[in-house]
Amino acid sequence: MTIKDLAAQTGYSVGTVSRVLNNQPHVSEAAREAILRAAAAADFKLNPNAKQLKQQQSNSILVICKGTVNELFDNLLVAIQARIAQTEYPLIVDYIDEVENEVRRAVQLCLEKKPRGILFLGGNRQHFLEDFHHINVPCVLVTNDARDLPFPNLSSVSSDDILAAEMAIDHLVELGHRNIGVIGGSREYSDTTALRYQGCINAFQRQGLSFPEDHYETARFSYEDGYRAARALLERRPELTAIFAMSDVMAIGAMRALADLGKRIPEDICVVGFDGLAMGDFAIPRLTTVAQSAEELVNHSLRLLAHYADPDATALHETVPVTLMKKESTHRPV
């Protein structure tokens, strides 16, 4: 079934059928009605490949969501949808695996969908360095800072990772903690981790505390690895009275490990997470965390995407504030 068949059926030409199916003007009401009726009856759908092949650009906004099991990105998506749904821009959401190359995927989808702009939910600096030059539509990288990536069409919005980590450590120090362990990603490969690590150093220095290398444990962002990291940390440094984990998922894994070690939370040891996922509120005890604001991240992202309406707009890199949510997993040490 093609528009040709539809044309034959209704007695009009393919041109008219196409115009009707695309809600274009300069069509008689009679034609519009007849064709629409026939299309509905036959449950006709335009062939998307032919359509895209022919069209230079679509109106769509592409969202590439990196990692499929990620409450934060899910929150971002909900906020994006809420803001975009009522506009003329169809949203194409593409979820890819944590380990896939999001930029290559974007290149591919640009060919396929010819989007107006792209929102990257999460991303890896190296991937951008390698492949982003193939992309020439406006892009915003969300949750990562692209300040030092040299692409005029790549803006970014991220939480203030340095300040956020400082807040976490300050909170623990205020509670009286002096021996604080930190669990995070690879400082070499994850730029976000590097920033949060810097925040930790700042806070410790300002407080006049040392932050020995072996108070840090590198882990992947999973329950399992949070668990493993916490055990490793406590084995090495039994005197720790607090742990800051750079994600809520890691933090929950860590809490389980501490419980297994016979530690009470927060009486014996305190835990602070990062992200502010709903999940943390259902942990026992409820998780204290530095919350990122999905709404704010999305507000800035869409504004940045829009700012590329100006053809010689340049890249902008913004930062949004975070909030310390004090819950049950932290309190004054014994």
Partner DNA sequence: TTGTAAGCGTTATCAC
Partner DNA sequence: GTGATAACGCTTACAA
Q: Which residue has the tokens 């040392």?
A: 210
- Separation of alpha carbons 134 and 129, rounded Å: 11
Number of residues lying near DNA (CB under 7 A): 28
The single residue among 28, 59, 81, 205 that binds DNA, judged by CB under 7 A, is 28
- Residue 15 partner contact from its own copies, DNA, none using kind-dependent CB cut-offs of 5 to 8 Å: DNA
> Which positions from 29 through 68 interact with DNA, judged by CB under 7 A?
30-31, 45-47, 50-51, 53-55
Kindly indicate which of the ranges 18-26, 223-231, 238-246, 316-324 contains the residues binding its own copies, using the contact rule CB under 8 A: 223-231
Nearest residue (CB) to DNA, 12 versus 132 = 12
Task: Write the CB contacts of 268 (distance below 8 Å, at least 6 apart in sequence).
Answer: 241, 258, 334
> Which positions from 127 through 186 interact with its own copies, judged by CB under 8 A?
134
The answer to the question of residue 243 lying near its own copies (CB under 8 A) is no
Nearest residue (CB) to its own copies, 49 versus 86 = 49
One-letter amino acid at 308 equals: Y
Kindly indicate which of the ranges 10-18, 92-100, 129-137, 194-202 contains the residues binding DNA, using the contact rule CB under 7 A: 10-18
- Residue 82 partner contact from its own copies, DNA, none using kind-dependent CB cut-offs of 5 to 8 Å: none
Q: Which residue has the tokens 């259902």?
A: 282
Q: Which residue has the tokens 């965390």?
A: 289
The answer to the question of residue 18 lying near DNA (CB under 7 A) is yes
Q: Rounded to the nearest whole angstrom, what is the least distance from the CB of residue 1 to DNA in the complex? A: 7
Q: Which residue has the tokens 């909170």?
A: 171
Q: How far is CA 241 from CA 160, 222, 229, 231, 237, in A?
A: 26, 22, 15, 13, 10
The answer to the question of residue 68 lying near its own copies (CB under 8 A) is yes
Nearest 5°: phi and psi at 202? -55, -50
Nearest residue (CB) to DNA, 58 versus 218 = 58
Write out the E strands in 50-123: 61-66, 91-96, 117-121
The answer to the question of residue 148 lying near DNA (CB under 7 A) is no
Q: Rounded to the nearest whole angstrom, what is the least distance from the CB of residue 68 to its own copies in the complex? A: 6
Determine contact, residues 79/298, Cβ cutoff 8 Å. Answer: yes
The full DSSP string for 268-330 is T-EEEEEE--GGGGGSSSPPEEEE--HHHHHHHHHHHHHHTTSTT----EEEE--EEE--TT-
- Separation of alpha carbons 334 and 316, rounded Å: 47
Which parts of this chain interact with its own copies (CB under 8 A)? Answer: 43, 45, 47-50, 52-53, 65, 68-71, 74, 77, 93, 95, 107-108, 111-112, 134, 223-224, 227, 252-253, 255-256, 259, 278-279, 281-284, 286
Which parts of this chain interact with DNA (CB under 7 A)? Answer: 2-4, 11-16, 18-19, 21-22, 24-28, 30-31, 45-47, 50-51, 53-55
